[in-house]
């Protein structure tokens, strides 16, 4: 079943005509309403009327995450504040959060696109959706929620946490669909085992998993343990939230991008030049219909490959390969985005810490763990245990408060050798070893 | 009247302690007294040594994080109640002992207590007022 047959199966030629029309209108709109973009266009010497074909996209400037931070909080908004009906924001210490605003129409479009996603995953209006994405400033919870409602399904807005209760409700309410992070799905299955509830025996048949990278092996393991079809969903708050792209259950081979709303490109992260179809590159999005915070050529830092060959589900939209890596140093810990620089500023703000640190990420069982190793300098060293423990606790508390992730903080000896080798290796990610 | 104590940060890993003792022995530094406090992932080694500056320099050269802490060494008779009298005195004056360790002298008639106060100066004053024998650093380093 296809939710929006017309728009999801447009012949490529018609789709591109629609994209061009929307791109031209978008350029006019941001040039007139967002001083940041007017300046960017002028610097590149490009005018909205220079965009005559989709190929002219390369004339336009890129937008990066730092731009959104620099314009914090509302500098990127393209409509007066009174037209904004909702705000979402990514975590971040002061000044590093990215803020996005939605108009009434943005919210409606988002609901539609999420409804498309549910249907692509194999769900229908008759289904009940157990939504375990976090509700709040994070786009996952509310995004999936309104999508399920737009579809006409029954929503259980359980949000994250209270895992044993979640398992009980999976049994009692017998939902057909679950939305959460892939690692949480496995954690639910394990918790179920402890409680003597086998999720495999429940009516649950579809899982829509996103907000963190996962592998094909993990998919198979989830499908086996929970007895469901596991579907990969993609999105980011800067572009909209969940529902930018989704796998179809027929092929489970690449995620269909909602191309009538988002113009996708892949580029070489080093040079910024476009890469050919079938070549891996950094994914770049231009929001064709967004009103609140439209973005031109936003660099996601996610690495993927685009595929425009026809799909057996009948959709004509391009498919992106499962995201395998990033062109920057962002870590995703249990669905939360963490940049080493954020940890660094917390360490600097926590009295007496010189920011020599290393992040160790592991997967214990099915959950990501983050350990922050901080080198003990002479200035922060104390002969009393309690002072050092207080320091550990203070850093932990600040990381939890500002980034929303629980990290273990461990004090370590200075590592002379590694520093003398040049660039400090900040991240040791052991999740892909096994 | 104060004694310089060398405090060393130790990661909780096999062989770290032996590394400290190796560095000190190679530098010809003698350990007069020591205590080790530990948590699940790190420890703090506290030493009174024969040559503070050499010990500190050598350990720093080898990448250890070290600190200097002022502690007080007192002599108490090696009898029941010797320590208790001193602690009661401190308690009555509201002076807090952060930590302490002790060793018995070779002659066997007295013990030496190494005390770390939250207020070192007041601690020394109180001990002196009560005629408690304080061992100066120089004496202790070369005992």
Q: What is the pLDDT of residues B59-109, one digit of tens each?
A: 998 889 999 999 999 999 888 888 899 999 999 999 999 999 998 877 778
| Closest Cα in chain A to B99 | A384
Q: Do B66 and A378 touch (CB under 8 A)?
A: yes
d(CA A378, CA B59): 12
Q: Does residue A434 sit at the B interface (CB-CB below 8 Å)?
A: no
Q: Do B65 and A416 touch (CB under 8 A)?
A: no
Question: Residue A422's pLDDT band (boundaries 50, 70, 90)?
Answer: very low
pLDDT at A434: 46
**Tens-digit pLDDT profile for residues A262-317:** 999 999 999 999 998 889 999 999 999 999 999 999 999 999 999 999 999 999 99
What is the DSSP annotation of A357-373?
Answer: EEEEEEEETTEEEEEEE
Residue A424 pLDDT: 54
Residues 403-422 of A with CB under 8 A from B: 410-416
pLDDT of A209 > 50? The answer is yes
Mode of pairing for the β-strands spanning A281-287 and A298-304? antiparallel
Residue A420 pLDDT grade (very low, low, confident, very high; cuts 50, 70, 90): very low
Token readout for B117 is: 């106060």
Angle at B82 between CA B127 and CA B52, to 5 degrees: 60
Sign of the torsion formed by the C-alpha atoms of A170, A174, A179 and A181: positive
CB contacts, 8 Å: B5 with chain A:
383
Tokens representing A47 are 């005018």
Name the pLDDT band for B24 (thresholds 50, 70, 90).
Answer: very high
Q: How far is A387 from chain B (nearest CA, A)?
A: 11
Interface contact A360, partner B, CB < 8 A: no
* Count of other CB atoms within 10 angstroms of residue A405: 21
Contact list in A for residue B64 (CB cut-off 8 A) is 413
Q: What is the pLDDT of residue A421?
A: 45
Q: For residue A388, list chain B residues with Cβ-Cβ distance below 8 A.
A: 39, 42, 44
Inter-chain CB proximity A378 and B69 less than 8 Å: no
CB contact under 8 A, B11 and A412: yes
| CB A384, CB B96: distance < 8 Å | no
The full length of chain B comes to 143
A410 to B44: CB separation less than 8 angstroms, yes or no: no
Residues facing residue B75 across a β-bridge: B112, B133
Contact (Cβ atoms closer than 8 angstroms) between residue A318 and residue A312: no
Give residues with Cβ within 8 angstroms of A259, minimum separation 6.
Answer: A15, A19, A317, A318
Distances A90 to A103, A121, A122, B15 between C-alpha atoms, Å: 18, 26, 30, 44
In sequence order, the 6+-apart residues with CB closer than 8 A to the CB of B107 are none
CB contacts of B65 in chain A (<8 Å) are 376-378, 381, 413-414
Average pLDDT in the A361-387 region? 88
CB distance B9–A413 less than 8 Å?
yes
Give B42→chain A minimum CA distance, Å: 7
């Amino acid at each position: 079943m296809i939710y929006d047959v017309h728009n999801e199966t447009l012949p490529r030629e018609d789709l591109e005509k629609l994209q061009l029309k929307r791109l031209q209108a978008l350029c006019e709109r941001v040039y007139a309403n967002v001083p940041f973009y007017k300046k960017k266009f002028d610097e590149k010497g490009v005018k909205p009327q220079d965009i005559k074909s989709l190929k002219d996209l390369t004339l336009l400037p890129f937008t990066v995450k730092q731009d959104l931070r620099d314009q914090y909080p509302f500098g990127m908004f393209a409509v007066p504040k009174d037209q904004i009906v909702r705000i979402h924001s990514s975590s971040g210490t002061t000044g590093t959060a990215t803020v996005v605003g939605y108009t009434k129409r943005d919210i409606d479009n988002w609901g539609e696109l999420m409804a498309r996603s549910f249907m692509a995953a194999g769900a229908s209006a008759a289904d009940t959706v157990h939504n375990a994405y976090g509700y709040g400033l994070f786009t996952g919870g509310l995004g999936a929620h309104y999508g399920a409602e737009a579809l006409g399904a029954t929503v259980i807005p359980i949000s994250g946490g209270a895992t044993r209760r979640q398992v009980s409700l999976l049994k009692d309410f017998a939902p057909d669909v679950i939305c959460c992070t892939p690692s949480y799905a496995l954690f639910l299955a394990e918790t179920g085992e402890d409680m003597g509830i086998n999720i495999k025996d429940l009516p649950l048949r579809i899982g829509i998993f996103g907000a963190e990278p996962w592998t094909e092996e993990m998919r198979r393991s989830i499908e086996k343990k929970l007895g469901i079809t596991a579907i990969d969903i993609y999105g980011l708050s800067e572009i909209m939230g969940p529902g930018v792209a989704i796998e179809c259950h027929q092929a489970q081979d690449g995620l269909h991008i909602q191309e009538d709303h988002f113009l996708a490109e892949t580029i070489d992260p080093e040079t910024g030049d476009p890469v050919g179809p079938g070549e891996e590159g950094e994914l770049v999005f231009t929001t064709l219909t967004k009103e609140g915070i439209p973005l031109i050529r936003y660099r996601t830092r996610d690495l993927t490959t685009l595929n425009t060959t026809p799909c057996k589900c009948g959709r004509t939209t391009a498919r992106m390969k499962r995201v395998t890596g990033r062109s920057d140093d962002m870590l995703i810990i249990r669905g939360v985005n963490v940049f080493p620089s954020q940890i660094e500023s917390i360490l600097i703000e926590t009295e007496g810490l010189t920011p020599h640190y290393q992040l160790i990420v592991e997967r214990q069982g099915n959950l990501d763990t983050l350990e922050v190793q901080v080198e003990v300098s002479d200035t922060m060293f104390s002969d009393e245990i309690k002072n050092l423990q207080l320091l550990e606790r203070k850093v932990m508390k600040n990381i939890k408060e500002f980034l929303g992730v629980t990290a273990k903080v461990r004090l370590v000896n200075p590592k002379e050798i590694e520093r003398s080798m040049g660039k400090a290796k900040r991240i040791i990610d052991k999740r892909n070893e096994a | 009247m104060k004694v310089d104590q060398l405090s060393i940060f130790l990661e909780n890993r096999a062989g770290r302690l032996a590394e400290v003792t190796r560095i000190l022995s190679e530098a010809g530094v003698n350990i007069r007294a020591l205590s080790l406090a530990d948590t699940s992932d790190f420890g703090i080694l506290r030493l009174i040594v024969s040559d503070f500056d050499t010990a500190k320099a050598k350990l720093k050269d080898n990448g250890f994080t070290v600190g200097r802490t002022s502690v007080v060494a007192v002599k108490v008779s090696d009898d029941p109640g010797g320590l208790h009298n001193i602690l009661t005195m401190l308690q009555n004056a509201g002076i807090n002992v952060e930590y302490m360790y002790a060793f018995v002298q070779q002659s066997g008639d007295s013990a030496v207590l190494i005390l770390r106060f939250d207020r070192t100066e007041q601690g020394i004053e109180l001990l002196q007022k009560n005629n408690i024998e304080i061992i100066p650093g120089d004496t202790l380093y070369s005992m």
